[in-house]
């Protein structure tokens, strides 16, 4: 199975690639519009802030290609910043529009809450039928590093919740679109299982 990882200059792309390869895929890193458009399965990783990320995607001519890809019904996965980019807008750096593939906002954890939220935390599954969770134990811990969290307009797309001062949406699933706030590539065996599920079960 071929995985295409979008390179827009923001993120630990090599570690994502290596994790997918370990999970059994052929993984290619690219920013070429043609290769992104023709992907079998597309992954948008990322570390950083939404405004420069959206600017990079715009400069590379990838925003509409990503949106068009999602309409094909082929599997798409956003990771960390790539997860946040799926939504309508972010308050990080003002009022920053996202890809608007899913409606909702990205907001900073409230004052008094230590940020970034970093380290291992639990997933509380909300949708047992989510393909990413196949074969996972009920007590599943993954690795996070983020200061902003997603608030989907449609709570029913939330595939898991995580507690950090409040309960927030740590993953979503809407048809062929999957998004995870945590880092599967840093989540050891559990993370590899999630990536393998994306490869084999979506």
Look up residue 128 and give its two tokens: 């047992």
Confidence (pLDDT) at 2: 95
pLDDT at site 183: 98
Domain boundaries, the chain: 2-201
Distance, CA of 133 to CA of 165 (rounded, Å):
24
What is the 3 state secondary structure string of the chain? CEEEEECCCCCCHHHHHHHHHHCCCEEEEECCHHHHHCCCCEEECCCCCHHHHHHHHHHCCCHHHHHHHHHCCCCEEEECHHHHCCCCEECCCCCEECCCCCCEEEEECCCCCCCCEEEEEEEEECCCCCHHHCCCCCCEEEEEEECEEEEECCHHHEEEEEECCCEEEEEEEECCEEEECCCHHHCHHHHHHHHHHHHHHC
- pLDDT tens for the chain, 202 residues long, are 899 999 999 888 999 999 999 999 999 999 999 999 999 999 999 998 999 999 999 999 999 999 999 999 999 999 999 999 999 999 998 899 999 999 999 999 999 899 999 999 999 999 999 999 999 998 999 999 999 999 999 999 999 999 999 999 999 999 999 999 999 999 999 999 999 999 999 9
pLDDT at 157: 98
Q: How does strand 140-146 pair with strand 148-152?
A: unpaired
Instruction: State the pTM of this model.
Output: 0.96
CATH number, domain 2-201: 3.40.50.880
Tokens 């997603």 -> residue? 150
Report the C-alpha gap between 152 and 67 in whole angstroms.
18
Contact, 116 vs 53, CB < 8 A? no
Catalytic residue set: 80, 183, 185
Q: Evaluate whether 50 touches 100 at the Cβ level (below 8 Å).
A: no
**pLDDT reported for residue 93:** 83
């Amino acid at each position: 199975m071929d995985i295409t990882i979008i390179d827009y200059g923001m993120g630990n792309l090599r570690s994502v690639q290596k994790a997918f390869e370990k999970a059994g895929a052929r993984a290619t890193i690219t920013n070429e519009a043609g290769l992104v458009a023709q992907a079998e399965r597309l992954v948008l990783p990322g570390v950083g802030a939404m405004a420069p990320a959206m600017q990079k995607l715009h400069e590379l001519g990838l925003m509409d290609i990503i949106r068009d890809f999602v309409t094909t019904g082929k599997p798409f996965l956003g990771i960390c910043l790539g997860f946040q980019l799926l939504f309508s807008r972010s308050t990080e750096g003002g009022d920053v529009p996202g890809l608007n593939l899913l409606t909702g906002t990205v907001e900073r954890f409230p004052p008094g809450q230590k940020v970034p939220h970093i380290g291992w935390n639990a997933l509380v599954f909300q949708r047992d039928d989510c393909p990413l969770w196949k074969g996972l134990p009920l007590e599943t811990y993954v690795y996070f590093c983020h200061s902003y969290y997603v608030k989907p307009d449609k709570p029913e797309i939330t595939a898991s919740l995580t507690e950090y001062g409040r309960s927030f949406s740590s993953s979503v699933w809407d048809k062929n679109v999957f998004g995870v706030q945590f880092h599967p590539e840093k989540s050891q065996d559990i993370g590899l299982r999630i990536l393998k599920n994306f490869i084999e079960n979506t």
